[in-house]
Structures are given as C-alpha cells and as structure tokens.
Amino acid sequence: MAEPTMPVEIPLWPQEPPFAFPPDADERITERPARPGRPGPNRSVEYVSMPTLAVHTSARPNGTAMLVYPGGGYRYLEIDKEGHHIAAWLARAGITAAVVKYRTCPPSRRQEGRPMPPEIFRAILADGLRAVRLMRHRAPEWDIAPDRIGVMGFSAGGHLVAHLATGYDEADPVADEIGAAGA
C-alpha cells in the first residue's frame, strides 16, 4: 500500500457557519495515552464551533473518496481512533478520505435524558451535508469521481450519517459555488 500524505485541514464554511450558536468554551483537544497495540495519537476534541474537513489524500488515488464522521455522543469527537486512523488506512488503500470535524453540542445546551435541542442538531446536520458538497466541489483537485463519494460514521457520527442519507436534499444555507455541488 502506498503511504498517504499528511492531511490538509480546511474550513467547511467560508465565514461563520450558518445556524451558529455560542460555544461554552474554546475548542479543546484532550490527549490520552496510545492504546495498547495501536500506536499514534489518541485525542478527542470538544467545544467544536468552527467545523473543518481534514483530507487524507492517497499517493495512488483510485477515484473513490470516503467521508469519516467520528463519534462522541455529539459532546466531543474521537478525532483519532474514529477519524484520522481510519482515514489514513483508507488513504493507504488508494481511497481519498476526509475526517469531518463537525460542531458539538455545548454542555450548557444539554439536558440529561432529553433530546438535543433541534437548533443544535440543525447546525450539525448542515456541517455534515456541507462536507459532502465540499468533497464534490473539489473532486477534480483531489482526483475523486464526484459519484464515488461514500460516508461512514461511528456512534454519533453514524447517527449523523443516517440523517445525511435521508436528508441529502436539504438546501445549503450558504448560497455559493460549493452549495451548488449538491449533497
């Protein structure tokens, strides 16, 4: 398998994301010890308010891409073990992979045993759809066939992916060339 390049992280939105809500704190990365048998970083990130896409390109791209949505209960994201580790493996196999760092629900907006506030999930869903549109828009640059983009997610990321699969026709709240790419 060919070695992938280092990921390039780009913002999902040109300015402040739509449906913005105030974070409780600045974005915070927690570094934990590597897991046994799994070298490399083992980080989680919380208080995400500026979503990004970290693209792992392959040394030998095969035209296929995969968006990876880490889990973490919408409170934080397991950015390495459910994100970058998976994306790096896919890139070694020739698949361009991108880790979606979507917004997380601030603690002040959570209530134990209650669903997430709809306006928060609306923002998170917009991030998820925007990531698909961004991959399609930049497909030529990354040697991707726009009709060969898949999505996968873990835990909350899997829940988000299920919503993407059924809410793909939601209009992009930012009218720009990326939004025109379709989800």
Q: Is residue 90 in a domain?
A: yes
What gap in Å lies between CA 1 and CA 102, rounded to an integer? 29
Q: How many domains does the chain have?
A: 1
Looking up tokens 């809410």 gives 167
The token duo for 126 is 């917009």
List, run by run, the mean pLDDT of 10-residue segments along the chain (183 residues). Answer: 72 92 88 82 94 96 98 96 96 97 89 83 94 95 96 98 81 65 62
Instruction: Write the CA distances from 152 to 26, 27, 31, 114, integer angstroms.
Output: 27, 24, 24, 26
**CATH number, residue 173:** 3.40.50
Give the predicted TM-score (pTM) of the model: 0.90
Q: Is residue 13 in a domain?
A: yes
Q: Is residue 3 in a domain?
A: no
Q: Is residue 173 in a domain?
A: yes
Q: Is residue 143 in a domain?
A: yes
The token duo for 22 is 């105030």
What's the pLDDT at 14? 87
CA 118, distance to chain mean position in Å, is: 19
Domain holding 54, by residue range, is: 8-181
| Angle between helix 118-137 and helix 156-166 axes, rounded to 10 deg | 70
Q: Is residue 14 in a domain?
A: yes
One DSSP character per residue, 31-88 reads E-PPBTTB-S--EEEES--S-EEEEE--SS--S-EEEEE--STTTEE-TIIIIIHHHH
Judge residue 55's burial from the number of C-beta atoms within 10 Å of its C-beta, 0-12 exposed, 13-18 middle, 19 or more buried.
Answer: buried
For the chain, helix (H) and strand (E) counts, in that order, are: 3, 8
What's the pLDDT at 38? 76
What's the pLDDT at 100? 99
Q: Is residue 152 in a domain?
A: yes
What's the pLDDT at 152? 98
Instruction: Answer whether 169's CB lies under 8 Å from 179's CB.
Output: no
Q: Is residue 1 in a domain?
A: no
